[in-house]
Amino acid sequence: MDDIDAMFSDLLGEMDHLSQSLTEATVSSGEDAAPQESSFSIGFNNLNESLNELEDHDLDALMVDLESKSTDQQSSTHNDTRNPTGNETSPPAVYQESEPVVTFPMITTQSSRAVKMNEPQTKADKIKVALEKLKEAKVRKLIIKVLMSDNSSKTLMVDERQTVRDVLDTLFEKTHCENSIEWSLCETNPDLQTERAFEDHECLVEPLSAWSRLSENKLYFLSTPQKYMMFTEPQIFYMWKKKSSGDMNSQAKELLIKEHFGGSTTIVPNLEGVLYLKEDGKKVWKPRYFMLRASGIYYVPKGKTKSSTDLTCFVRFEKVNVYTTSSYKQKYRAPTDFCFLLKHPCIQKESPYIKILCCEDKHTLLLWVNSIRIAKVRNPTVLPPWKARTQVHKLISLKLNHHLTPDFFNPPGQEYL
């Protein structure tokens, strides 16, 4: 019973530490008595500033969208008021659609002037109306600032239904750059000195909502040539033990891709090797032999073998994302600057729940980070949407100079959307 009590006390302590880490990252300390304007904008000091940064046609589109939703809500409320008990049966929808009843009010000169007076005339008026309607909207919306490589920026309005790929398409239109799957939206965290490229299938509002209120995180629009390297150079990940894996013809690449990505589930690279592990709370790094599996990363304890029964779980992938780092050799005395970490997206500052690993070289870092990305999307229900996979298919066809049918990414019987 003493052992059980001790284990229970340790568990409570761990839960308390995790609770504090998540609270620091997501909740400010008692300063939110007023409505949190930061919940509507990312990269700005306040919501009013972000609305001012919107281009006129984007602001007009936002106004139309919010107005339509407001009208729908009022209509729904009016219908509920007319039929509170639900005893009356409404006529079939087909009759409502085919024989609509429309009443046109008499419009006089005075009434038309009144209507014009009620409509927002200036950008300031539109912003004032948008501020109120944003707070009433049921669909979560964010106004975000996206930084470019030349230090310029674009301001966009996104809602919780839009994927990263949808936002990228909008940026292609605004920047007039080439529509390529190599472009990414990347988040940077100056406190942790980390960077992560969002996956195309992610809904952008969700990870951005994990940023703390006073966060200095930034969102960048960058070209990332290695983004889909697992499709263009699959031999690097699935034949990494062979020194000659860099040379492979198009037909062999296609067979390798079909073998590992063409089934009902994706096959994760069987990656393993020595990595340096940072000890909790210390600037001490110890080498351990790590092995990648579909569920997470495991390591071989001292005195044990590589047998699956002897492996110890280091981290599971369900609730964490993988991030690359910068200058960890200086910050934490890492053996090299080729480090990556795994953490819950809500953890925005240093925490004992962040797992940091260091690689010998850049190539090893590339292998581990992208293999972890493969493992995280191996389940068909969370694969990138068809829109993104179509462009991946085009890129592979171009690189391999060989045609791959759409069924390659949507095998018969597998509905991913």
Highest mean pLDDT among 116-130, 259-273, 283-297, 385-399: 283-297
What average pLDDT does this structure show over 167-190? 92
Give the pLDDT band of residue 63 (cuts 50, 70, 90): low
Give the model confidence (pLDDT) of 114-123 as tens digits.
434 455 567 6
In this structure, are residues 193 and 328 in contact, taking their beta carbons and an 8 Å threshold?
yes
Worst-scoring range by mean pLDDT, 57-71, 91-105, 174-188, 371-385?
91-105
- High-pLDDT (> 70) share of the chain, %: 57
Here the tokens at position 305 are 């073998």
Rounded Cα distance between 146 and 171, Å, is 9
Give the pLDDT band of residue 400 (cuts 50, 70, 90): very low
> Three-class SS of residue 191?
coil
Spell out the domains of the chain, with CATH numbers in brackets: 264-375 (2.30.29.30)
What average pLDDT does this structure show over 226-243? 89
pTM: 0.68
Please identify which residue in the block is written with the tokens 């690097």.
236
Rounded Cα distance between 412 and 410, Å, is 6
DSSP3 helix / strand / coil % (the chain, rounded to 5):
40, 20, 40
pLDDT score for 264:
79
pLDDT score for 37:
44
Does residue 6 have a pLDDT over 90? Answer: no
Q: Choose between 90 and 136: higher pLDDT.
A: 136
| Alpha carbon of residue 273 to chain centroid | 29
Rounded Cα distance between 341 and 24, Å, is 19
Give the pLDDT band of residue 178 (cuts 50, 70, 90): confident
Worst-scoring range by mean pLDDT, 29-33, 55-59, 245-249, 316-320?
29-33
